[in-house]
């Protein structure tokens, strides 16, 4: 199964973290999370290679450094990027694909192998939800371009419904590492409760991000009258 990794331009990445990270830090976080992901994907036993899709020049260099294929993103948005990758893979006669986002630093090779090995015979769709069970954090399709992708609000249910409507076998999984994607300060708080040897956690520790995530409480002063 070919793994597709869509990568947003690092300059545009992680804007919802602007309250705790500077623009330069957000760009570096996006870069480091991609490094962690590509390094981990190289250990997935059942992957038939990795395809990175992006407009980000640094992503092309990182893909080459990790032995991944790279194609320039042509459309706009995540749905278009994943479909571009799915069509690229299908045109080369490959039977299936698995989309993994670049911002899941706790994802493991064991989880991804589990997902690949549990994927049913075509036509089939396997889906991993986010922590809330609302978003889609990974999706596998056989054939690769079996259906349109519906990333956005409540995409997990939308993908399941779309797959069922098209007659696919639907396989849903909850995988703890893949379920945590980094978009908000609360996601960073969750990530920092784990002890894993990743460049992402090292970066957050080196830049003393944890103290920035402590909630600040305002105290209303009451003037006493005498």
Does any domain span residue 94? yes
Q: Which of 99, 79, 89 is nearest to 140 (CA)?
A: 99
Does any domain span residue 24? yes
Mean pLDDT for each consecutive 10-residue tract of the chain (226 residues)? 97 93 97 98 97 97 98 95 98 98 97 98 97 96 97 94 97 95 95 92 94 68 49
Does any domain span residue 224? no
Does any domain span residue 197? no
d(CA 41, CA 54): 17
Full residue range of the structural domain in which residue 11 is found: 2-188
Q: Which of 201, 6, 1 is nearest to 100 (CA)?
A: 6
What total of structural domains would you count in the chain?
Answer: 1
Q: Which of 125, 126, 124, 90 is nearest to 111 (CA)?
A: 126
**CATH number of the domain to which 126 belongs:** 3.90.550.10
* Residue 220, pLDDT score: 54
Does any domain span residue 78? yes
Using a cut of 0.85, tell me whether the model's pTM lies above it.
yes
CA atoms within 13 A on the CB side of 208: 1
* Residue 214, pLDDT score: 79
d(CA 28, CA 226): 56
90 pairs with which residues across the strands?
A: none
* Residue 153, pLDDT score: 86
Determine if the peptide bond prior to 204 is cis (ω within 30°).
Answer: no
d(CA 3, CA 50): 5
Does any domain span residue 175? yes
d(CA 111, CA 124): 19
Does any domain span residue 72? yes
138 pairs with which residues across the strands?
A: 128
Does any domain span residue 115? yes
């Amino acid at each position: 199964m070919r793994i597709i990794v869509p990568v947003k331009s690092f300059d545009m990445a992680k804007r919802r973290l602007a309250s705790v990270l500077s623009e330069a830090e957000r760009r570096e976080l996006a870069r480091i999370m991609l490094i962690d992901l590509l390094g981990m994907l190289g250990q997935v036993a059942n992957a038939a290679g990795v395809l990175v899709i992006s407009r980000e020049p640094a992503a092309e260099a990182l893909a080459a450094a990790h032995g991944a294929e790279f194609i320039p993103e042509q459309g706009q948005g995540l749905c278009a990027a994943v479909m571009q990758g799915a069509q690229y893979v299908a045109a080369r006669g490959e039977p299936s694909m698995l989309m993994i986002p670049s911002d899941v630093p706790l994802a493991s090779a064991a989880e991804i192998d589990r997902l690949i090995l549990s994927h049913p015979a075509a036509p089939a769709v396997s889906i991993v939800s986010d922590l809330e069970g609302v978003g889609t954090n990974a999706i596998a399709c056989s054939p690769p371009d079996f259906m349109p992708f519906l990333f956005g609000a409540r995409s997990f249910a939308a993908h399941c419904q779309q797959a069922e409507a098209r007659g696919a076998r639907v396989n849903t999984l909850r995988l703890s590492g893949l379920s945590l994607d980094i978009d908000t300060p609360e996601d960073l708080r969750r990530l920092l409760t784990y002890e894993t040897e990743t460049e992402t956690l090292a970066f957050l520790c080196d830049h003393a991000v944890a103290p920035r995530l402590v909630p600040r409480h305002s105290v209303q002063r009451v003037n006493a009258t005498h």
